[in-house]
Amino acid sequence: MEFSILNLLLVLLAAWLAGVLVERLGYPAVLGELFAGIVLGPPLLGVLEGGEALAVLAEVGILLMMFYIGMEIEPGELRKASRGGLLVAVGGFLTPFILVYIAMRMVDTPNISAIFVGLAAGVTSLAVNSRILLDLRLLDTRIAHVMMAGAIITDTVCLILFAALLGLADTSQFDVNNILVVTGKALLFFAGASVLGLKVFPLLAHFLRRFEQMGRQSTFMLFLLIAFSFAEMAELAGLHGILGAFLAGLFLREHVLGRSQSKDLMELVRDTSLGFLAPVFFVTAGFMVSLDVFSTDLMLLISVIGVATVGKILGTVLFYIPTGHGWREGLVIGASMNGRGAVEIIFAQLGLSAGLIDQNIFSILVFMAIFTTATVPMLLKWGVAWLHGRGELVRSEEERSGILIVSAGPLARRLGLTLSASHDVMLIDRNKDLCERALAEGLQTLHGNALDERVLSEAGAGHVRYCVVMTANAEVNALVAQIVRTVFFVPEVFLIDSGDPDGRDAMASHLHVQTLFGGPLDLAAWDYRVDDEQVRMSPVVLERTLTPGTLFREAQAPTSCIPLLHEKNGIVLPFHDGSVLEAGDRVTLLQLQDAPPLERDRFDRLVANAPILDLAQPMDPEGFFTLVAGMLAPRLGQPTERLTEQFLQREKNNPSVLLPGLAIPHILVEDAPAFEIVIVRARQGIRFPGESEPVHTLFVLAGPPEQRTFHLRALSAIAQIVQRAGFEKDWQVARDSEALRQLILQADRQRFLIEQPTRRVTSGLEK
């Protein structure tokens, strides 16, 4: 077997350049690789040539690619798509088979040749379609799972029937016993592969875990041996090796090495196959095209391609409708399953060598394989864009359901109980006593370490849509969040705030996790309160749009109340800092039993959103008013100079110092769009003219003249707040601006509820 390094170099170079070119045009690399083989190979320019050595590399490449595809596909998703896959396999095989058979008989093609061409028209290339789905990043969609399941079924049936036809070519008559033998061998292969994958591979996993010194190279070699063993088993059963390699990949997932190591090996297999060997297969596939068919049998070529294409798409659509997923999705799947690629080329070679078809029909089949395969990327790309634009493209994450809570502490159990009414909820905790308490409360619970991928897998992390991580250890929380996000691809992860803003922000930006409850809280304190039955559930309906942070502050967190749940359009989820809050949404609060009902008036809301100045250096009144006017100017739509002058004039006419240490400068501003307040703590004080003591507490008010009533109520609210015993001391020692805000919001005073108060709804979980 002669081997030309230069020829291999040219094939790889052509594959790479063509792949890069079509990818820049927005199409998968496989399309460029096929056309590179046609243009640069024997059909046109003849720069590239085939050979036994390239054929071997191509065969190895397609086996490794199918092995990688099997590792990439989630078996559970494939099982869910099995019904749809069976329907599209039947419709997508029978319809083109019948139509092409009739077309071939109409041009006096021998009966056995017409049957062969009909079977070839019903084929769907598992290998090529898998590569296209991979290039377009669609392996996590429902259409991909249906296509994969349908292609497996179609290719298996076609291989069995082709084996029967080859037997017919030898004996010149149909042999029922031969068909039964071929079918039995295929069923025996699938049964044997399933036993190995489900029974033997777990033992292999135990062996590999015991011998951890086995390096990555040795493990990679072991995986290759398994892949080629499965491929050889498929060949012995009369099937093609690609089916065996695909099944080996399906079984060699995280059940053997765990997700992290499996992912590592998947990358090795992917780089070896897609980066080196598989392009050789797709380029050399283009070598097989004979352009002579355009001059000898052009009409027959067009007729066969047209009838096969229409039959494949029409049959798939009609048979897919009973799934309930819509004719549009069926149309996209049908157009995508029209690619016949490698399988049809292989069948054509077998048929030609067995004398079932002549050279002209062989050329028609090969060109039909190339043409239909070349159309799949374009049709699939357009179809996916169409479905996506209509909101009908379903990805795996959209079919995920359920919530995984990593903790079984009191607060986690309370959250789990409230969510279990509308979701499947699973709790994980390494504390056995907490797990037993959760089980006693009726919650699904798994005792184990959430840092162990096998425990997370057993808990269903690969299938849940939401994960709530709320242990008392911030580092554990971060690690678990990273595992469930990057290994199990959980779409939405909520992490309890550990109080470290740098760590929280890093996690949020790196892993796109959300902060649970909308802000920081003392988990140990809330666990104690829940366990001691000191809390009650308080559902409220929002009367306006606001941010989660605002609601968190208005709920008097973290001392007396936290937002627990957010309900929008009937969907109940844990409250988090990414929640989109609108008027009419329902929020369930967890509130201390002795805390007053949550009732906020306009002044509270004004304070919750007000800017706060915490001045460390002394200032004179003029500098202070200039600073405050600059903050209010954009809010009131007024020039800074005008506001400064108005404050100074008001101070001259009517001093704002009401009590020692307290000043409330306030002005009425014509054409102001809203009422505004600035809260100020002057640590070194501001000395106003005529005052013996510096002022440390200031509330600066500004609003339109027509809101005089609210102006008076704001002055009344401030007076009640500052007259509370101990206020001055608490004001001086407050740690930061947010503590100052909470000091005002938590003050006991008379509140004027402008909106209709929300009637409190009693929850069945209240103690």
Q: Are 545 and 581 in contact (CB under 8 A)?
A: yes
* Band (759; pLDDT cuts 50, 70, 90): very low
* Residue 97 pLDDT greater than 80, yes or no: yes
Q: What is the pLDDT of residue 753?
A: 44
Is the alpha carbon torsion for 422, 428, 429, 434 positive or negative? Answer: positive
Distance CA 632, CA 611 (A): 9
Tens of pLDDT, residue by residue over 374-398, are: 788 778 888 888 887 777 777 665 5
The string over 550-587, giving b where at least 16 C-beta atoms fall within 10 Å of a residue's C-beta and e elsewhere, is: bbbbbbbbbebbbbbbbbbeeeebbbbbebebeeebbb
Q: Are strands 535-541 and 466-469 parallel, antiparallel or unpaired?
A: unpaired
Tens of pLDDT, residue by residue over 400-416, are: 789 999 999 999 999 99
CA–chain centroid gap for 411, Å, is 27
Q: Are strands 662-663 and 586-592 parallel, antiparallel or unpaired?
A: unpaired
Task: Provide the token pair at 479.
Answer: 């690690």
Q: What is the mean pLDDT of residues 574-584?
A: 87
* Band (503; pLDDT cuts 50, 70, 90): very low
Distance CA 696, CA 682 (A): 5
* Residue 637 pLDDT greater than 60, yes or no: yes
Q: What is the pLDDT of residue 510?
A: 56
- Which listed CATH number (3.30.420.40, 3.10.450.50, 1.20.1530.20, 2.30.30.240) goes with 5-396? 1.20.1530.20
Tens of pLDDT, residue by residue over 227-251, are: 899 989 888 887 777 778 878 887 8
CA-only gyration radius of the chain, Å: 36
* Band (764; pLDDT cuts 50, 70, 90): very low
> Amino acid letter at 533?
E
Containing 730, the helix (H) or strand (E) segment is helix 727-733
Q: Are 477 and 469 in contact (CB under 8 A)?
A: yes
Instruction: Please name the residue ranges forming H helices in 426-467.
Output: 432-440, 453-458
Name the CATH superfamily for 400-600: NAD(P)-binding Rossmann-like Domain (3.40.50.720)
* Residue 533 pLDDT greater than 90, yes or no: no
Q: What is the pLDDT of residue 485?
A: 80
* Band (758; pLDDT cuts 50, 70, 90): very low
* Residue 27 pLDDT greater than 70, yes or no: no
Task: Provide the token pair at 566.
Answer: 């957010």
Task: Provide the token pair at 728.
Answer: 């001055």
Q: What is the mean pLDDT of residues 531-553?
A: 80
Distance CA 549, CA 555 (A): 10
Residues 6 or more apart from 445 whose CB is under 8 A from it? 408, 426, 427, 428, 429, 435, 438, 439
> Which of 270 and 627 is assigned the larger pLDDT?
627
Mean predicted lDDT score pLDDT of the chain: 80
* Band (766; pLDDT cuts 50, 70, 90): very low
Q: Are 51 and 11 in contact (CB under 8 A)?
A: no
Q: Are 543 and 758 in contact (CB under 8 A)?
A: yes
Residues β-bridged to residue 676: 702
User: What are the boundaries of each domain within the chain?
Assistant: 5-396, 400-600, 605-745
* Band (696; pLDDT cuts 50, 70, 90): very high
CATH number given to 605-745 = 3.40.930.10
> Which of 680 and 507 is assigned the larger pLDDT?
680
Residues 6 or more apart from 214 whose CB is under 8 A from it? 208
Burial of residue 185 (CB within 10 Å: 0-12, 13-18, 19+) is middle
Tens of pLDDT, residue by residue over 432-471, are: 999 999 999 999 999 999 988 878 888 888 788 899 999 9
> Which of 636 and 238 is assigned the larger pLDDT?
636
> Which of 612 and 357 is assigned the larger pLDDT?
612
How many other C-beta atoms are found inside a 10 Å radius of the C-beta of residue 487?
19
**Residue keyed to tokens 């040539």:** 49
Provide, rounded to the nearest whole percent, the portion of the chain with pLDDT above 70.
82
Tell me how far CA of residue 634 lies from CA of 181, 396, 629, 639, 640, in angstroms.
Answer: 85, 46, 9, 8, 9
Q: Which of 603, 625, 633 shows the shortest CA–CA distance to 711?
A: 603
> Which of 547 and 487 is assigned the larger pLDDT?
547
**Residue keyed to tokens 């050329």:** 363
Task: Provide the token pair at 417.
Answer: 């109980």
Q: Among 13-22, 322-331, 362-371, 408-417, which stretch is predicted with the lowest mean pLDDT?
A: 362-371
Residues β-bridged to residue 403: 425, 466
Tens of pLDDT, residue by residue over 286-320, are: 787 677 777 777 888 888 889 999 998 999 999 98
Provide, rounded to the nearest whole percent, the portion of the chain with pLDDT above 90.
17
Whether omega for the bond prior to residue 611 falls within 30 degrees of 0, making it cis, is no
Q: What is the pLDDT of residue 756?
A: 36
The structure's pTM equals 0.50
Tens of pLDDT, residue by residue over 112-121, are: 888 888 888 8
Q: What is the pLDDT of residue 342?
A: 59
* Residue 362 pLDDT greater than 70, yes or no: yes
SS3 540: strand
Which of 14-28, 503-517, 743-757 is modeled with the greatest confidence? 14-28
Q: Are 636 and 673 in contact (CB under 8 A)?
A: yes
Would you mind telling me the total number of residues written for the chain in this entry?
767
Tens of pLDDT, residue by residue over 173-196, are: 556 676 677 778 878 888 888 888
The DSSP output letter for 81 is T
Distance CA 302, CA 198 (A): 46
Q: Are 273 and 64 in contact (CB under 8 A)?
A: yes
The DSSP output letter for 639 is -
Q: Are 602 and 555 in contact (CB under 8 A)?
A: no
